[in-house]
Amino acid sequence: METKHGIKASPGIAIGPALVLDTEGVRIPRRTVPPEQVPGELARLQVAIHRATADSRAREQEMTTRLGKDIGKIFASHALLLSDQALRYDIEMLIKAESYSAEYAVSRCIRARVKGLDDTGNEIAIRIRADFIDVEKQLLHVLLGEHPESPDALTQAVIILAHDLTPSETAIFNTKTVQGFATESGGPTSHTAILAEALSIPAVVGLGKLLADVSGGDIVIIDGDAGVVIIEPDEETLARYLERMQSKADAPARYEELRDTESVTKDGVHVELLGNIEFPTEAAACIEKGAGGVGLYRTEFLYVNKTGDPTEEEHYAAYREVVAILGPTRPVIIRTLDLGADKFSPATRGIQEKNPFLGLRSVRLCLQNRPLFKTQLRAILRASVFGDLRIMFPMVSTILELRQCLSLLREVEEDLHDAGIDYKPNVPVGTMIEVPSAAIMADVLAKQVSFFSLGTNDLVQYTLAADRDNETVANLYSPVDPSVLRLIHMVSQAGSRQGIPVNVCGEMSGEPVYTALLLGLGIRDLSATPRKIPEIKHVIRSLTIPEAERVAQDALQMETARDVASYLRGHLRRFLPELAE
């Protein structure tokens, strides 16, 4: 038995025989052609682009029908890239100037763009890089007339193992036969990971060296909850995972009765339980799973893979759609633009940075592009008339940044007032606590806002200087590292002293093993992916606050993340064993 640790991409457990996909990729038979064949190569390119675009549009329609329009947009972005006139012009120029074959020109041109996106550290750049590679494969398969064996033709259940998978490859998986997958590369925010979760396929990515250690037919366990892959498990391990699979299969019926019950501890303390969404259509899942509203509405989808920045009306429509689904009384917390200075819209095009994680991103970018920022703020304020909308600024690191954001919001309010446009005055405004400087200064920031929201994903990686998407240092990334727990406790205490709620909206809030700890640290607001809400509500209703406080006190005395994690698992195992693994 061999255990591999990677990055959680899609939850769930899958067990089955391994199918190792070919990792050699597409071979280009020739680099150049005689000059007299250049017109023919240009014609071949035109045909390939047309066919690949049609295939992407067909895949968009298929995925929209199966999984919703937001998943379909992934393939719309492929069609958008294929119809990019600048990309086509650059490929054609390589064919004309260098007498390159159409295949080689496609590969050279797209790889140059991919190289420009390498090592940026930005999750949106990672997605776009993967989209370019996907488009390259589509064009090369058309040009070379290749039709590689497809997993959608499988007749028996398997676990897919590959170096990497593109969204197009993942989209054709038949969920009756592809039980799960694992890849050597990739991250949890990639389009492939998003598709896996939408398809309910357990997945682990970023495993590093894997394929050399597996043979086709080996029994493999994919633990998407823990980010673990087990090759050729022993009988005891296999039996344990089979039992867990059965428990998970029974869970929906077990938690269904909790949907309309209050999120309250055994001793009567209310805990606000909200949902995280990335697209407007996901708001319905919050209601379905028993959330009290939306605690994190990411708005980056409005900007990504677009030929221009979104208009005020596009923003307004997206916010009104969520309010229409949730109704006028449920809170909806909208996070303003949280992108880095990458080539994703005209507003940010041309800005090059050596270290985007520590550069011009989020509110820093917005404060340098005030028209962009004002457009979003105007739309939020206009939509606030119809519901309980709240505004949240991401990646604030200093009190000056926060004051500048608040000042700009007041300017927008004055503009709307002078124009006679309806808006709700005194919309609640909060700030995310995602960097150590903000956590340390929480007592000062708390005087300026109506609420805090702890973005634990970024807080962990900035505190520990460890990128969770980098498999070589992923072992250092732990939300229960003692340094992180002390910062969370510090922020919770600062919020309590000022009388403002402190929400946790990172992945930590959606893991049952951390619920008692967070409540014990003083957190009374949690926001998680909708599918996680029933489990978290179950844990909340099984705890008392004094018990949670004892858990937190014990954890704060420990010196290593390993000790804390082991302690928390042991505690959960004692009173909710079905959730402890």
For residues 547 and 516, the answer to whether their CB atoms sit within 8 Å is yes
Q: Could you confirm whether 505 is annotated as catalytic? A: yes
Q: Could you confirm whether 147 is annotated as catalytic? A: no
Rounded Cα distance between 408 and 435, Å, is 22
Catalytic residue among 191, 315, 538, 571: 191
Catalytic residue among 141, 489, 505, 538: 505
Provide the strand spans (E) within 125-223. Answer: 158-162, 178-183, 203-205, 219-223
Sign of CA dihedral 541, 546, 550, 556: positive
CA dihedral 154, 157, 159, 164 (to 10 degrees): 30
CB within 8 Å of 36: residues ≥ 6 apart: none
| Residues 358, 359, 365: CA angle, nearest 5 degrees | 135
Q: Which helix (DSSP H) or strand (DSSP E) does residue 305 occupy?
A: none
Coil, helix or strand at residue 205 = strand
Q: Which residue has the tokens 């709240």?
A: 390
The phi-psi region of residue 121 (left if phi > 0; otherwise alpha if psi is between -120 and 50; otherwise beta) is left
- Known binding-site residues for phosphoenolpyruvate equal 298, 335, 457-458, 468
For residues 571 and 555, the answer to whether their CB atoms sit within 8 Å is no
Helix runs in 329-451, H state only: 363-368, 370-383, 399-419, 436-440, 442-445
Strand pairing report for 228-231 and 2-5: antiparallel
Sign of CA dihedral 24, 26, 29, 31: negative
Structure tokens at 425: 């005055």
Structure tokens at 183: 């890849």
For residues 272 and 296, the answer to whether their CB atoms sit within 8 Å is no
Structure tokens at 293: 């509203």
Structure tokens at 152: 């959608």
For residues 308 and 345, the answer to whether their CB atoms sit within 8 Å is yes
Q: Reduce the secondary structure of 212-265 to three states and give it as a string.
A: HHCCCCCEEEEECCCCEEEECCCHHHHHHHHHHHHHHHHHHHHHHCCCCCCCEC
- Known binding-site residues equal 298, 335, 434, 457-458, 468
Residues serving a catalytic function are: 191, 505
